Amino acid sequence: MQTWRSDLAIYRRLFLQARPYWLHITGIFLLSLLDGPLGLVAPLPLKIAVDSGIGSQPLPRILDRILPANIAGSPSGILLFAAFLVVGVAALGGLLSLASTVLRSYTAEQLVLNFRKRVFAHLQRMSLRYHDAKGTADSVYRIQNDTVTLQYICMDSLTPFVTSVFTLAAMFYVTFRIDMELALVAMAIAPFLFLLSQKYRPLFRECSKEVKQIESSAMAVVHEVLSALRVVKAFGREQHEENRYVRRGTAGMWARIKLEFIGAAYSLVIGLLTAAGTAVVLWIGMRHVRAGELTLGSLLLVSSFFAGPFGRCRARLFGSGPGAGRTRATQRGFSERRVGLDQFPKCFFLI
């Protein structure tokens, strides 16, 4: 519960920080919403080719109405239409990706630059006692490294989360219309993925916190030595300082390896759960195909959902190890603004 409260507090402050760019973020959100239906349409040409081009199933009613009779009534025409549909969907997806990439890059750079400017301005107003106690290395690390995560949370966490929920809802609806039993099996996987992600996030967050602290301390050694290099050389302390840096660097190396191992283990378990669900869907679907309750093209369509849209949504919703680390890094960036104000007793916080 405390983790959720901490996340909500961070997201509230992120919203205030990103408020000047709400039009850009809304545009990114709308483009992401279009990507969901496009992912569901992408496997449709395969279903049309298998069921209506090779097989004898009729075309979907909407296509039967809009296509000319010489195409809808000819297997060769249907196969040609399916081939052109593949190209059309790919071209539309490429245009959406291009527009989203350009808008995302511009917004991300503006967000990070503005956040860095505000944190840097605040650092200059902090008391000398704070800078004497903390040093400059940690503050520099927060400005240059932790502030970057703002763009990932605003555009690669919140927006994909909402669009993934809409995409999953649409995918389950289409699957339910095709075969109710397959849709129920697909939905049964989600609670297990959610529970696993809730058990995993606090562990990843603590490891990410440890990595950030060790990396900051290693950078502090470099700042201290280079800023007092004459003293270090005068007393012949080069080897001692090198060993101190190596010790902290080694600790950071093992902390990062531990973090990567936890993330890989989590991805492995998530992948196994998803594979088990896909196997059950395939087994039930083949039984329904043999019984004549489901066409082969419809089974291929549902299987493509699991390989495409469901896989991407799973990575966004449940494969959020980096997201937990980014939340922690952004929290460090914001925390720099909450301390060291003892020389301004009547100050108040803007965000």
- Would 341 be classed as within a structural domain? no
- Would 349 be classed as within a structural domain? no
pLDDT reading at 95 higher than 70: yes
Residue 1 pLDDT grade (very low, low, confident, very high; cuts 50, 70, 90): low
pLDDT tens across 139-189, in order? Answer: 777 787 777 777 777 777 677 777 888 888 888 888 888 888 888 888 888
- Would 268 be classed as within a structural domain? yes
The 3 state secondary structure assigned to 97-108 is HHHHHHHHHHHH
CATH number at 54 reads: 1.20.1560.10
Q: Which of 339 and 311 is assigned the larger pLDDT?
A: 311
d(CA 301, CA 55): 15
User: Is the distance from CB of 60 to CB of 67 less than 8 angstroms?
Assistant: no
- Would 344 be classed as within a structural domain? no
Q: The pTM is what? A: 0.66
User: Is the distance from CB of 198 to CB of 1 less than 8 angstroms?
Assistant: no
The total domain count for the chain is 1
pLDDT of residue 348: 44
% of the chain exceeding 90 in pLDDT: 9
- Would 40 be classed as within a structural domain? yes
How large is the average pLDDT for residues 205-232?
A: 83
- Would 347 be classed as within a structural domain? no
pLDDT reading at 350 higher than 60: no
pLDDT of residue 342: 44
Which range of residues forms the domain containing residue 167?
A: 2-335
pLDDT of residue 345: 47
Please choose, from the candidates 223, 207, 204, the residue with its C-alpha nearest in 3D space to the C-alpha of residue 144.
Answer: 223
The 3 state secondary structure assigned to 253-296 is HHHHHHHHHHHHHHHHHHHHHHHHHHHHHHHHHHHHHHCCCCCH
Q: Which of 27 and 154 is assigned the larger pLDDT?
A: 27
- Would 33 be classed as within a structural domain? yes
> Positive or negative CA dihedral for 80, 86, 90, 92?
positive
Give the C-alpha distances (Å, rounded to integers) separating 42 from 64, 85, 202: 19, 9, 37
- Would 346 be classed as within a structural domain? no
Q: Which two tokens stand for residue 214?
A: 């060790």
pLDDT reading at 98 higher than 80: yes
pLDDT of residue 65: 84
Lowest-pLDDT range of 43-47, 211-215, 316-320 = 316-320
Residue 214 pLDDT grade (very low, low, confident, very high; cuts 50, 70, 90): confident
Torsions phi, psi of 59, nearest 5? Answer: -65, 155
Q: Out of 98-102, 170-174, 343-347, give the one with best mean pLDDT.
A: 98-102
The 3 state secondary structure assigned to the chain is CHHHHHHHHHHHHHHHHHHHHHHHHHHHHHHHHHHHHHHHHCCHHHHHHHHHHHCCCCCCHHHHHHCCHHHHCCHHHHHHHHHHHHHHHHHHHHHHHHHHHHHHHHHHHHHHHHHHHHHHHHHHHCCHHHHHHHCCHHHHHHHHCHHHHHHHHHHHHHHHHHHHHHHHHHHHHHHHHHCHHHHHHHHHHHHHHHHHHHHHHHHHHHHHHHHHHHHHHHHHHHHHHHHCHHHHHHCCCHHHHHHHHHHHHHHHHHHHHHHHHHHHHHHHHHHHHHHHHHHHHHHHHHHHHHCCCCCHHHHHHHHHHHHCHHHHHHHHHCCCHHHHHHHHHHHHHHHCCCCCCCCCCCCCCCC
Torsions phi, psi of 179, nearest 5? Answer: -155, 115
